[in-house]
């Protein structure tokens, strides 16, 4: 596929990973990003063994290149009591792949560093049209013709309706706050990741980022808070005031400038297909643009990396036809995406059930079910 041209819309995890695989296959890639700079966020996140394998297939070692911190166990607590736990280390034990906590900005930097010479980056470029007749993407003043357009433009993708008009973004009626604390102020170091389900549909989780510090995440019902970070910090303090140790310590150690908030949303139903052929090329969805899942099982970035690796595999195996490759990508991804999206939505519904419901459901769920589900989610390997 020498001298084929691809346009990738969006330079998040999905778009960067997509540009890496395309350039490795010899494509000329225009990577169009509306932000002024290619930069990750100050956030901690989990990459399960599946995502770590996908990263490795892109030539990036999650521990060495991204300073990922292996997670031993994942604990779920029902208010004060341990409700269930599973061994995160066991998930990738058969091939020695860890599940890790990573700093988002470090993951981002590692992806940017892997972009090949054939990738031309266009920052501050807001794509506002996709030409589905003579395949191309454009902004207000320019146009990029292509054999393949990859829409990796996030959960609000205006491109998704071209392929999957029946798959809107659903607002889950909650907001997620995340904090990151530098190592010298981290209140507690742990090799486990912990998530506590509390009353009133609130959750609080925390983990360790090694020399990058510690991180926490909290979900509360309601919409985005318009107040200053200082007031948001005070509100979080109040919402979690009587929660068990070390919740208060994490919040107290966080400066308002180290807080971020995001609405909790997901794409539902999952698109029935992820591509649209155009001539012998086409348009394809990747990452949150395709399947933004409810962010309760920490799967989205891992899925985005898997998408990119699978697209690379499909293009390699159908070297003569982009359209065939896209159909093959679709077949390889849809069952997995549906499984993760359904489970994420189901767990999100349990977590949003209010005090009595969440508490009794959590009590009823056996450890073996949790371990099996986690193992199923992490059991993805690059196709060959
Ligand atoms: C609270 C929360 C916690 C999470 N925790 C985890 C976790 O622990 N582990 C995990 O794996 N996942 C987690 N996720 C999910 C993960 O963050 C996302 O799935 C992932 O970042 C999606 O990457 P993406 O590249 O598909 O989309 P995005 O990161 O949204 O990137 C899209 C890019 O496209 C650009 N763009 C959009 N429109 C245009 C346009 N018209 N023109 C040009 N550029 C455009 C945007 O500026 C952006 O850079 C979490 C999500 C949330 C909300």
pLDDT at 366: 81
Work out whether strand 129-131 and strand 119-122 pair parallel, antiparallel, or are unpaired: unpaired
Work out whether strand 143-145 and strand 136-138 pair parallel, antiparallel, or are unpaired: antiparallel
For ligand 1, the distance from its centroid to the CA atom of residue 363, given in whole angstroms, is: 33
**Candidate from 130, 161, 301 with most ligand 1 atoms within 8 A of CB, to mutate:** 301
**Closest Cα to atom 30, ligand 1: which residue?**
154
Q: Who lines ligand 1 at CB under 6 A?
A: 9-15, 32-35, 45-47, 51, 125-127, 152-154, 176, 262, 287-289, 295, 298-302, 304
For ligand 1, the distance from its centroid to the CA atom of residue 11, given in whole angstroms, is: 9
Q: Which atom of ligand 1 is nearest to the CA of 153?
A: 34
Would you give per-residue pLDDT tens digits along the chain (384 residues)? Answer: 558 999 999 999 999 999 999 999 999 999 999 999 999 999 999 999 999 999 999 999 999 999 999 999 999 888 777 778 888 888 988 999 999 999 999 999 999 999 999 999 999 999 999 999 999 999 999 999 999 999 999 999 999 999 999 999 999 999 999 999 999 999 988 889 999 988 888 999 999 999 999 999 999 999 999 999 999 999 999 999 999 999 999 999 999 999 999 999 999 999 999 999 999 999 999 999 999 999 999 999 999 999 999 999 999 999 999 999 999 999 999 999 999 999 999 989 888 876 566 777 777 788 888 889 999 999 999 999
Q: Which atom of ligand 1 is nearest to the CA of 15?
A: 25
For ligand 1, the distance from its centroid to the CA atom of residue 12, given in whole angstroms, is: 6
Partnered with residue 181 across adjacent β-strands are: 214
- Please give the domain boundaries of the chain with CATH numbers for all domains: 5-71+104-169+267-353 (3.50.50.60)
pLDDT tens per residue, range 293-324? 999 999 999 999 999 999 999 999 999 999 99
pLDDT at 354: 63
**Candidate from 300, 302, 304 with most ligand 1 atoms within 8 A of CB, to mutate:** 300
**Candidate from 10, 39, 157, 292 with most ligand 1 atoms within 8 A of CB, to mutate:** 10
143 within 8 A of 9, measured Cβ to Cβ: no
Query: What SS3 state is found at 203?
Result: strand
Residues 6 or more apart whose CB falls under 8 angstroms from that of 68 comprise 47, 52, 62, 98, 100, 101, 102
**Closest Cα to atom 27, ligand 1: which residue?**
154
Show the tokens assigned to 100.
């890790």
For ligand 1, the distance from its centroid to the CA atom of residue 16, given in whole angstroms, is: 11
Phi-psi region of 233 (alpha: psi -120 to 50; beta: other; left: phi over 0): alpha
187 within 8 A of 214, measured Cβ to Cβ: yes
């Amino acid at each position: 596929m020498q001298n084929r041209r691809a346009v990738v819309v969006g330079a998040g995890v999905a778009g960067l990973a997509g540009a890496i695989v395309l350039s490795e296959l010899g494509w000329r890639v225009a990577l169009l990003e509306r932000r002024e700079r290619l930069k990750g966020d100050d956030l901690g996140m989990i990459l399960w063994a599946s995502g770590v394998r996908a990263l490795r297939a892109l030539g990036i070692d999650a521990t060495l290149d991204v300073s990922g911190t292996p997670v031993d166990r994942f604990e779920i607590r029902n208010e004060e009591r341990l409700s269930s736990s599973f061994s995160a280390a066991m998930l990738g034990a058969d091939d020695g792949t860890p599940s890790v906590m990573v700093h988002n900005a470090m993951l981002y930097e590692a992806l940017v560093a892997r972009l090949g010479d054939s990738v031309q980056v266009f920052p501050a470029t807001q794509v506002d049209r996709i030409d589905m007749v003579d395949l191309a993407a454009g902004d207000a003043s320019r146009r990029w013709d292509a054999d393949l357009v990859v829409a990796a433009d996030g959960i609000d993708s205006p491109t998704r309706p071209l392929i999957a008009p029946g798959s809107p973004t659903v607002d889950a009626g909650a907001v997620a706050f995340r904090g990151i604390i530098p190592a010298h102020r981290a209140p507690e170091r742990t090799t486990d990741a912990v998530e506590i389900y509390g009353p009133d549909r609130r959750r609080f989780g925390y983990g360790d980022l090694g020399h990058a510090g510690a991180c926490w995440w909290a979900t509360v019902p309601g919409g985005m808070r318009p107040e200053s970070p200082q007031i948001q910090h005070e509100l979080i303090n109040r919402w979690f005031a009587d929660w068990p140790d070390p919740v208060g310590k994490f919040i107290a150690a966080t400066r308002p400038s180290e807080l971020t908030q995001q609405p909790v949303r997901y794409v539902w139903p999952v698109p029935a297909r992820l591509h649209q052929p155009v001539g012998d090329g086409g348009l394809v969805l990747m990452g949150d643009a395709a399947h933004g899942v409810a962010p309760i099982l920490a799967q989205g970035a891992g899925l985005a990396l898997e998408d990119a690796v699978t697209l690379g595999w499909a293009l390699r195996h159908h070297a003569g036809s982009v359209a065939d490759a896209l159909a093959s990508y679709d077949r390889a991804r849809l069952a997995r995406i549906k499984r993760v999206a359904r489970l994420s939505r189901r767990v999100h519904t349990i977590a949003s059930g209010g005090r009595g419901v969440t508490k009794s459901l959590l009590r009823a769920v056996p450890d073996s079910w949790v371990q099996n589900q986690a193992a199923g989610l992490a059991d993805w390997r690059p196709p060959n």
